[in-house]
Amino acid sequence: MINSTQVLYFTLAAYFDTGILKYLYFLLIMSLYIFIICANLSLIVIICTNRSLHEPMYMFLCSLFVNELYGSTGLFPFLLIQTLSDIHTVSASFCFLQIYCVHSYGAVEYLNLAVMSYDRYLAICYPLQYNTHMTYNMIALLILVTWLYPCFAMVVLLLLTSPLQLCGSIINKVYCDTHSVVKLACSNSNGINTYGLIATFSTIFCSLFLILYTYMKILKVCFSGSEQTRQKAVSTCTPHLASLLNFSVGACFEISQSRFNMNSLPNVLRIFLSLYFLTCQPLFNPLLYGLKMSKIRDLCRNLISNTLAGCWFIKTVISVGS
């Protein structure tokens, strides 16, 4: 029986030898990470620097983009190192840090999407009382709860997981997650499994219940309202629903892999399904909201035009000077 404090390193067994192709994978992963950083960071800067976007909907969007940066940073730098490495090990302390980042990212994402649906519900169903209900204090409180609750829940989970007595150190994934570590426990881990399930499903189901309730109310108003109301609902709710669907699919993949035996699937497919949870949402959201939200789209177009004009002006000045 091995105490967890004696397990200094975990081995990530899902990696396999790709030979010279590892450099191609490294460049692909690096390109994706650079795009995620640039896209999400650009939208955060656009929202923060333009007073016309200092509205509740865009503030919640800003929180969403910050979470995309947070979640992808918990995975991509580590993935880049492991892709080039021949020995796929990770220290126990870093493994638990990654567990914290990955799981808190998922919880913040669901809660943020739930808060955004509540905001749309107030804006469409109670437009006259919207500014009274959605004050800056309320916005700050909702964003604070969205971030603090997952952080607290993950701290409790790590405090329960880290003292476990482990009988092995091999994790059959490309990154660390709680269930993979708990499966290595020699002692009874029913309490941790129960807490994990309660924390996961309470976050997911409470969020989905709020989203379902708000959209039922929104649909009711749309069917009985004017054409303008319907257009407003479609333009603001479509990106949100698409983002929710995309993330829910990724979460289902991740939960299924953690809770059920997927060894019958090809290794490459299992890796893809586990990474979908952490990669597609940070890639998908900036493109989705950048293209669908007219204010953001127009500001992005102006930013690109001004940048190109600035580059052309500098190039002209340099060519004249030479």
Residue 322 domain-assigned? no
pLDDT tens-place string over residues 173-230: 888 888 888 888 887 777 887 888 888 888 888 899 999 999 888 888 877 767 777 7
pLDDT tens-place string over residues 230-242: 777 777 788 888 8
Residue 145 domain-assigned? yes
Report which secondary-structure segment, H or E, holds 166: strand 165-166
pLDDT tens-place string over residues 55-66: 898 899 999 999
Residue 302 domain-assigned? no
Q: Identify the pLDDT of residue 290.
A: 74
Q: Identify the pLDDT of residue 63.
A: 95
Mean pLDDT of the chain: 83
User: With contact defined as beta carbons under 8 Å apart, do 211 and 244 qualify?
Assistant: yes
Residue 308 domain-assigned? no
Q: In this predicted model, which residue has the larger pLDDT, 31 or 322?
A: 31
In the predicted structure, residue 320 carries a pLDDT above the cut 70: no
Q: Identify the pLDDT of residue 221.
A: 81
Place of tokens 């992005």: 300
Question: What is the domain-level CATH number for residue 160?
Answer: 1.20.1070.10
Residue 311 domain-assigned? no
User: With contact defined as beta carbons under 8 Å apart, do 12 and 171 qualify?
Assistant: yes
Give the predicted TM-score (pTM) of the model: 0.86
Residue 316 domain-assigned? no
Q: Give the number of other Cβ atoms within 10 Å of residue 282's Cβ.
A: 27
Which two tokens mark 306? 């001004």
Q: Give the number of other Cβ atoms within 10 Å of residue 252's Cβ.
A: 14
pLDDT tens-place string over residues 135-175: 999 999 999 999 999 999 999 988 888 888 888 888 888 88
Q: Identify the pLDDT of residue 1.
A: 38
Name residues whose C-beta falls within 8 Å of residue 72's C-beta, 6 or more positions apart in sequence: 33, 36, 37, 278, 279, 282
Residue 321 domain-assigned? no
Residue 59 domain-assigned? yes
Q: Which structural domain range is residue 284 located in? A: 2-293
Q: How would residue 294 be classed by pLDDT, with cut points 50, 70 and 90?
A: low
pLDDT tens-place string over residues 119-138: 999 988 888 888 888 999 99
Nearest to 145 by CA among 216, 60, 71: 60
For residues 268-290, give the mean pLDDT: 85
